[in-house]
Amino acid sequence: MQKNKISANEAWKEIIKKYDIINRINENGIFHIKASEIKEFKEPRLMAKWDCTSALPEALRNNKINILPNSRSSYVLGRFNLYEELPELTESVNKMDSAELPALETIDINSITSESAAICILIISGILDDFLGDRDTVETFNGRMGTGEFDFSVNTVDGGKQIISVKNAQCEIDGGFENDKDVIILEAKNVVHEDFHIRQLYYPYRLWEQKVSKPIRLVFSVYSNMIFRLFEYRFLDKNNYSSIELVKAKNYSLQETHIEISDLVEIRNLTKIIFDDDCREDDNVPFIQANSFERVISLLENLKENAMTKEQIAELMEFDERQSDYYYNAGAYLGLFVKRIEGSGKRVTLTRLGEQILTMNYKERQLKFVQLMLQHQIFADCFDSIIETGELIEISEIEKLMRKYNVCKSTSTIHRRASSVQCWIKWVFNLVNL
């Protein structure tokens, strides 16, 4: 098979086999590999940057192997713990009444589709200053940089530690800022993930702590579904990659986010059941198997500008192509996405409904998502159960409903799909907490 035509997972399988990496790690704890050795199978840039655990190829994930760059032309493999879980979005959103955006024609808060645009909003709105508890924060650096030289320890999955030496590896900084008190390094995302790669904060931190005398503050930002989520982290020991600690977290929206149970009940009462059997499988839309509704929304937002292939979705969302199908199918189930023939292949694009939703304000948008779910009998039944009992419906009860309505023809996936239903229903009722 031609290089770069194979998947990253297949390429890693071949690399692991060729260099006997499993045994080498078992013997030595780590394995060093050159970029040129990876390039024999696939471009290193497509093989070594996994910003969340869900993006890791199975060949690495199943063997509990992670990868770190240690120079511009080499990497180190080992059973490292490299990721930090992000807290769930359950806290109240802080609406900044005093930090409204000026009337600028080039900014549309209903259409923030890139990380750079999100950073601009953070600055212009005053959100970043508010989060930092400071003012007059200005951007002074960003982009790709060499890390310089440093050593650090990192925890391993078996409870041990490994020492890693870095010599002028490359790091990319989304936003670097300074004010009277601090230097701030910001990593920005416009796609929701369950965790993030600590390297994205640690390597820039080690680079700049050698350059400046002011304290460095580290901020991780996620913008999705019209909400900014900001997290501040610190390293208790600068020489210990695994000493990361969450300092504080805060959420912001520039629009009204208040939704009450009565709003949800009203939508339920006004929504007509349209789909009640076979989950539209006659239209080639299978039942959902995608737990994170927030990630469905992230995909919706990112499809606004451009249609994408399955491979491009996988790269954007940082998961494998099978998951790409799951999240496309989830959006198609609600009537948000469709596949169209463009050029030599199929691309996923927004339906007219998907486009309309992206023009709505926050509250309208969330209630529209709820309506689209409740058009399906199984979601309406789950909703009614929670309203009646005040308790989250159990997965076993959802499975009974799925069998009743014949919405899952595969017995092997019924539990996973029932779990997705429960996650979506939890998302619906969590709207009242924001």
Is 261-433 in the same CATH topology as 85-253? no
Distance CA 89, CA 223 (A): 12
Distance CA 63, CA 66 (A): 9
Whole-number pLDDT of residue 278: 56
**Alpha helices, H only, 195-320:** 199-209, 261-270, 293-302, 310-317
Distance CA 304, CA 325 (A): 18
Whole-number pLDDT of residue 325: 86
Whole-number pLDDT of residue 316: 80
Lowest mean pLDDT among 195-199, 225-229, 318-322, 410-414: 318-322
CATH class of 261-433: mainly alpha
- pTM here is 0.88
Taking residues 199-225, what's their average pLDDT? 96
Query: Hey, where are the domains in the chain?
Result: 8-79, 85-253, 261-433
Distance CA 100, CA 149 (A): 43
Residue % of the chain over a pLDDT of 90: 72
Question: 59-118, pLDDT tens digit by residue?
Answer: 999 999 999 999 999 999 999 999 999 987 765 566 544 446 777 778 777 777 788 889
Distance CA 111, CA 117 (A): 9
3-state secondary structure of 144: strand
Cα–Cα distances in angstroms (integers) from residue 111 to residues 174, 253, 334, 373, 410, in the given order: 20, 13, 21, 23, 38
Question: 245-295, pLDDT tens digit by residue?
Answer: 999 999 888 788 889 999 999 999 999 999 875 555 546 788 999 999 999
Decide yes or no: CATH 3.40.1350.10 for domain 85-253.
yes
Beta bridge partners of 249: 231
